């Protein structure tokens, strides 16, 4: 008796189960940004320019103070 058909059958069952799990996974979602991420570019630019760095730090401090107040 050859085990090749049995092994192939088990392999196909495993592949089918994996495909079914992937297809029916309710948590599978595309990652979409929920907010504007342009502030990252501004932050990178602020690291290079002293005047922008000071402005960035002031804005971050003010935003932190607002968050702490609410």
The pTM (predicted TM-score) of the whole model is: 0.36
Per-residue pLDDT at 52 exceeds 90: no
The token duo for 47 is 């690291």
Q: With bands split at pLDDT 50, 70 and 90, how would you rate the model's confidence at 1?
A: low
For residue 67, what pLDDT is reported?
81
d(CA 9, CA 16): 10
At residue 3, does pLDDT exceed 60?
yes
Is pLDDT at 66 greater than 90 in this prediction? no
Does residue 53 contact residue 46 with C-beta atoms inside 8 Å? yes
What region does 25 belong to: left with phi over 0, alpha with psi -120 to 50, or beta?
A: beta
Report whether pLDDT(10) > 90.
yes
């Amino acid at each position: 008796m050859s085990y090749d058909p049995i092994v192939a059958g088990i392999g196909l069952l495993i592949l089918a189960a994996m495909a079914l799990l992937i297809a029916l996974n309710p948590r599978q979602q595309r990652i979409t940004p929920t907010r504007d991420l342009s502030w990252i570019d501004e932050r990178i630019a602020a690291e290079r320019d002293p005047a922008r760095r000071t402005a960035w730090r002031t804005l971050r401090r003010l935003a932190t103070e607002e968050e702490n107040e609410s």
